Each structure stands twice: as C-alpha cells, then as structure tokens.
C-alpha cells in the first residue's frame, strides 16, 4: 500500500505548479508560462483574474486549442483548489500534447497571498 | 509520466458528475438520479440541503444500503469540494455495485450558483 | 473503469486520517500521533494552529526529518482540504519511511468543528 500511496502522490503532485514559479515569470517577455483562467462563469461573476491571464472557459477549451502555442506551458486555474474544472482543462491540454499544469493555490490562494490580479472589464 | 497523468485525470474525473446534469433531472418523476447528502453534521448545523436530496450521513451509509435502489444513480455531496467524505461514501456505493458519482461543485458550489436548496426542519 | 475508480478511491482515502482519531489521542502521554502544521506562511499570518501541533513548513521539512521519530505517526495539515501542500509533506514523509497521514478536515474543518486550537506567539 505504501508504494501505491507514493505513486499516487507523485502523479497527483506532478499535475500542479506552484505560484512562486509562475510569479517569477509574470510579465517577462520570454516567459515559458501562459496562465489560463478556465472558469466557466460570466465576466460579471468573475470580476477579476490573475494579472495577465488569458480567459478560456473550460467548456470552450476544445474549440480554442488552435489559438494555443505548443512551445508554451499552460497554467490553468479555477476559483478554489479541489474543484474539478482545472483538472478537466488539464486533461484536454495534456491529451492534445500541450505542456500544462494546474496552479496549486487556485485563484483563492493567489488572492489570499495578495499576488497581482486585474479587474475584468 | 504524461500517460500516468492522463490516466489519473481520467479516472479522477470519472468519479464526478456536474451540477447541470443533476439539475436537468431535478424534480422529474423518472429521473435516474438520487442526490444523497452524506454530511455527518446534525441537522441544526447543516440547516439546508440541495432540494430533493436524501440525507444519509457517510458514517451510517453502510447500514442503509438496503434502502437504496440499484436502478438509480446516486449523487453524493459534502460541504465543499476537496474533502474526503464524499469519496468515502462513493467508495461504499461503488464497492456495493451501486452506480454513483460525487457532485463536482459540492454544496458550496451549488449554493454559490444559486441553485435550488431547501431548509432542513 | 469501476475497478479503476475503486482502486483510486481506496488509495486516495488511505492517505487521510479523520479528526476523531487524532482528537481521541490529543494530550495523551503515549499518543502514537504527532500533528504537523506544514503551512509555509509566517506566524503572523497563521495566527493559530491545532493544539499541540508542531510547526514545520512543508518547504523546510526535508531538512528537519532527523528531528522526527519513526515510532510515531505524523498527521500533516494545511489551511484547507484540497490544497497540495499537505500532499507534498506527506510524500516527503512516506518516501523517507515515516508513518504519515493527511488530516482529512484540514485546519478549516478542525476550526469549523470548534476543536481545540492554540494561538501562535
């Protein structure tokens, strides 16, 4: 059972990227990361997002794959950690040969740490 | 690692059902879905629940399996996404050959989207 | 798929310990459990913790393994359920042959149930 636990933890954790790695690259011209806000809610509910994020709702992601760049690494996030929307988006991206991670802290954690956000018009 | 990630995501996501599918069948005479509130808290703490849900606390579920109907699909939920209580209930149901899913948004998400709830007396 | 689901649930749930087991042993001289607060935040952000917990931030855990006791069972927790920090700590502990679990309810659930906490000076 110990081996199974370790295997599950390793695979599970390999799905995630931490905020520090993303933050270190924010605003850099040649950043390998593109942050994707995959929340399905309309803009007036979302109100704000991670600074510089590109909004593609998880439910529309399959139709927007041709706008994405295979040389980039996509970092998806939902409202909170533990929801399934980020994993749905991640599965679509990985299955289509994109490099992608889920943001470990989600939007809630990002805002809780006072990291840069921006208002959505 | 990519294959392992995709496999984990596929299996993990297959545990869940989304609110829209459940909502579309709410109140229908012949709905295949029965929503189970598996929170262990007493009624005065729970206060309200998803409209039409049947309350069977996860810790009592094993003793109530004979009240369930194998032709139905059970949708379990806990307070929030990411807790283990829904998965505990799900494991009991699946291990006993019931069709079952966890509600992806949990009660928190359901209420956050203003979907129908009811007060618990 | 049913078998895969059950296997995943079994392994996933085996990572967790519930609050009741931990609580029953709190303050006992010969308790097999040691609760580890693995939050990375500084003390003034954390403010309080589970009563009797030992604080070792997840990012420092690898450097503190020689302070831990292989005869004990470690119970790690983060702010909320569903984050990855507890799992990161858990992976370090299990990979180094410690007995360890994540606290299912996390700090949020522990406080929500009014279980004993203590202020951090």
Return d(Cα A118, Cα A120) in angstroms, integer: 6
CB atoms within 10 A of CB B73: 19
Q: How many percent of chain B have pLDDT more than 70?
A: 100
Take residue C68 and report the two structure tokens written for it.
Answer: 């831990």
| Chain pair A-B, CB pairs under 8 angstroms | 45
Sign, CA dihedral A22-A25-A29-A33, equals: negative
Asked if the Cβ–Cβ distance from A14 to B6 is below 8 Å, we say no
Shortest alpha-carbon distance between residue C88 and chain A (Å): 7
List of chain C residues whose C-beta atoms are within 8 Å of the C-beta of residue A105: 83
CB A117 within 8 A of CB A111: yes
Q: Which of B120, B119, B115 is nearest to B21 (CA)?
A: B115
Q: What is the CATH number of the domain that holds A111?
A: 3.40.250.10
Rounded Cα–Cα distance for residues A38 and A53 (Å): 10
Count of domains in chain A?
Answer: 1
Q: Which band of pLDDT confidence, cut at 50, 70 and 90, is reported for residue C42?
A: confident
DSSP B59: G
Question: What would the mean pLDDT of A67-85 be, rounded to a whole number?
Answer: 92
Question: Bridge partners of A27?
Answer: none
pTM, 2 dp: 0.92
Query: Which residues from chain B sit within 8 angstroms of residue C13, using beta carbons?
Result: 84, 87-88, 91
Residue B97: its pLDDT value, please? 96
Q: Which chains touch A (3 or more CB pairs under 8 A)?
A: B, C
- SS3 labels along A48-60: EEECCCEECCHHH
Domain of residue A55 covers 2-119
> A9 pLDDT band (50/70/90 cuts)?
very high
Q: Among C41, C47, C61, C50, which Cα is nearest to C105's?
A: C50
The arithmetic mean of pLDDT across residues C66-89, rounded, is 93
Token representation of residue A33: 């990361």
Nearest chain A CA: its distance from B109 CA (Å)? 9
Contact B94 C2 (CB under 8 A): yes
Chain C residues whose C-beta sits inside 8 Å of any chain B C-beta: 1-2, 4-6, 8-10, 12-13, 16, 80-83, 104-105, 109
For A40, the closest chain B residue by CA position comes to B113
Q: CA–CA separation, A110 vs A53, rounded Å? A: 13
Of C14, C80, C88, the CB nearest to A13: C88
pLDDT of residue A25: 87
pLDDT band at B27 (very low <50, low <70, confident <90, very high): confident
Residues in chain B: 121
Residue A75, helix vs strand vs coil: strand
Determine the Cα–Cα distance for residues A9 and A14; give it in Å rounded to an integer: 8
Q: Angle at Cα B80 formed by Cα B77 and Cα B81, nearest 5°?
A: 85
Whether the predicted interface score ipTM is above 0.90: yes
B with C: how many residue pairs have Cβ under 8 Å apart?
A: 44
> What b-and-e string marks burial along A66-103, b requiring 16 or more CB atoms within 10 Å of the CB?
eebeeeebbbbbbbbbbbbbbbbbbbbbbeeebebbbb
């Amino acid at each position: 059972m110990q081996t199974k636990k370790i295997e599950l933890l390793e695979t599970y954790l390999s799905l995630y990227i931490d905020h520090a790695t993303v933050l270190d690259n924010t605003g850099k011209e040649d950043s390998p990361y593109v942050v994707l806000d995959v929340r399905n809610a309309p803009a007036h509910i979302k109100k704000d997002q991670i600074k510089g994020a590109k909004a593609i709702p998880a439910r529309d992601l399959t139709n927007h794959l041709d706008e994405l760049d295979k040389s980039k690494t996509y970092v998806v996030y939902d409202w909170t950690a533990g929801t399934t929307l980020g994993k749905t988006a991640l599965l679509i991206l990985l299955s289509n040969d994109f490099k992608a991670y889920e943001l470990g802290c989600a939007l809630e954690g990002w805002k809780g740490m006072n990291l840069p956000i921006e208002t959505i018009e």
